[in-house]
Every structure is written in structure tokens, then in C-alpha cells.
Amino acid sequence: MKKSTRAAVSAACVAAMALTVGSSAFAEEAKTLKVAMECGYAPYNWTQPDDSNGAVQIADSSEYAYGYDVMMAKHICEELGYELQIVKMDWDSLVPAVVSGTVDCVIAGQSITAEREEVVDFSMPYYYASIITLTKADSAYADAASVADLAGATCTSQLNTVWYDTCLPQIPDAEILPAQESAPAMLVALEADKCDLVVTDQPTGLAACVAYPDFKLLDFSDTDGAFEVSEEEINIGISMQKGNTKLQEEINSVLEKMTPEDYTKMMDEAISVQPLSDAE
């Protein structure tokens, strides 16, 4: 009887240990992926007051983030078994946050440039964004068919982007105003007639035209009059700490299963549900 009792107790202990080990393993598997973004760059990401459409609460905030980047982050976390945490940061703070390890990665519409690759690693592209120009429908540049046709324009774009650093200088005799701190600020400058035009990427331009019906999108892509940019400057990637090959391989394992059609469908959805006040 004692032997049987001892055996039962022993079996119970083994079972308890197995449950404990199993619980620990599950807890270990349920890791959190800290993803940084501006939460102010529609349609890639924006801030909203509630969780409508599947928005995710921003860390240390009562507000929520949504947009293409959040949708992509959710998809990656669901595929990899991570809990998602959105961290809201200014554009210029994103790369330093990855470098320091404050966040795991940045999903924020970043171009995969050689300059950035000196300090961070990137995933394979999660979007391919052609470069476009926005102007007012009644402006002197509304019928421009090439970069050359933008000659003499007063223009601006977002700080530390290929749009500002690479594209604006290609406009002949352009009056280039100081860079704007954010995409919404850039759009406000155009709406307020502080400039004739701004240069940005296609998703941002499409979203802006929904928010500002008096804007006109000019796309010179695939013509002789297009902006001269390298492929790296229109490939949008997810940045992470240099040498974090584990996370890089995990994220790439998800992205390599997606098609351009998947990206387009997701972006179209983001544009359709963006808050129209986001760029105001």
C-alpha cells in the first residue's frame, strides 16, 4: 500500500514537473516582439482612439496604432507566435532605437538604403514603393509629365528620406525648403500653399489624395522623365539590430511566402480605412 502510495505520489510529481516544464516552454515561446514606428505616417501607420479594424494599443498609451505596418506586424507575429507590442517614436529615433536594442525592429516604411545598412540589418522588402509627386490640382505644375517639367518649383519633403535628399535636388532650379519632420507636416505644407509640390512614395500619395481631394498625384515612373533612384531606394524593409540573424531569418520566412498581390491587397485595405484627419 505504501509502495503504491509512494508510486502515485512520484507519478504525480513527475506529472506536475511536466506541466511546469510545459508551462515554462509555452511562456518562453510567447515572446514579445517590440516594433517601433511613427504612428503618424498614413497609410503605413497612424494613431487612432480605439481598436477599430484591428488596431493595436500603443505601449504606455491609451491610443491605438493601425495601418499597413501594423497589419504587417500582426501577420508576422501571428505566423511566428510572438506577442506584438507597438512602440511609438519620432522618425529620427527609429534607427537609434534598433541599434541600442530598445526595440526589436522597425516597421515604418523605411527604404533599404546602403547608408542605413551600415548600422542596421534589413529583412527582404515588404513593399515596393515607387516615387511620386503631389501638387494642387490647380497649380502651375498640375500637368507636369516629367521631373524636368517641375523646373523652378518651390518644394519640400520629409526629413531624412530619399525623397528629400535624392529626389528634390533633381528638379531643375528648384527652391528647396527645409525638410519637414513628418509626412503629415509635409502634406500640411502643401495644403497651406507653403510650397508648390512635395515628393513622396505612391502609398503616401494615394492616401493623401483621399484626405485632400484638391491634391493631384503625378507619377513619372517607368518613363524617361522619372526621378533617378536606385532599386534600394524604393524597396521598403524591416530593420533590426546588426547581427540579429535569428530575427532576420524568422521575418524573412514569413515575407517570402507573400506575393506582390498580398502586399497590394493589404495596402489597399490600409488606405480604405485610414482616418481622413490623419494627415491634417
Domain segments of the chain: what residues?
Answer: 30-128+235-273, 131-232
- Number of Cβ atoms within 10 Å of the Cβ of 92: 10
Asked if residue 53 has pLDDT above 80, the reply is: yes
> Rounded to two decimals, what is the model's pTM?
0.77
Residue 198, beta-bridge partner list: 134, 156
Q: Can you tell me the distance from the alpha carbon of 57 to that of 46, in angstroms, rounded to the nearest whole number? A: 12
Asked if residue 23 has pLDDT above 80, the reply is: no
Asked if residue 69 has pLDDT above 70, the reply is: yes
pLDDT at 276: 64
The stretch 235-250 carries a mean pLDDT of: 97
Q: Which three cell numbers stand for residue 237?
A: 524593409
Rounded (10°) angle between helices 68-80 and 260-273: 130
Lowest mean pLDDT: which of 5-19, 67-81, 84-98, 100-114? 5-19
Asked if residue 15 has pLDDT above 80, the reply is: no
150-209 tens-digit pLDDT:
999 999 999 989 999 999 999 999 999 999 999 899 999 999 999 999 999 999 999 999
Pick the CATH number of 30-128+235-273 from 3.40.190.10, 3.40.50.2020, 3.40.50.1970, 3.30.2390.10: 3.40.190.10
The stretch 83-105 carries a mean pLDDT of: 97
pLDDT at 129: 85
Task: Calculate the average pLDDT of the chain.
Answer: 89
> Are the C-beta atoms of 21 and 84 separated by less than 8 Å?
no
Q: Can you tell me the distance from the alpha carbon of 130 to that of 233, in angstroms, rounded to the nearest whole number? A: 9
Same fold for the pair 30-128+235-273 and 131-232: yes
Q: Output the CA angle 206-58-199, nearest 5 degrees.
A: 25
Q: Which three cell numbers stand for residue 198?
A: 512635395
pLDDT at 231: 82
Query: What is residue 221's three-state secondary structure?
Result: coil
pLDDT at 166: 94
Q: Can you tell me the distance from the alpha carbon of 138 to that of 229, in angstroms, rounded to the nearest whole number? A: 28
pLDDT at 230: 87
The closest of 275, 239, 270 to 89, measured between CA atoms, is 239
| CATH homologous superfamily, domain 131-232 | Periplasmic binding protein-like II (3.40.190.10)
* pLDDT-based confidence at residue 17 (cuts at 50, 70, 90): very low
* pLDDT-based confidence at residue 232 (cuts at 50, 70, 90): confident
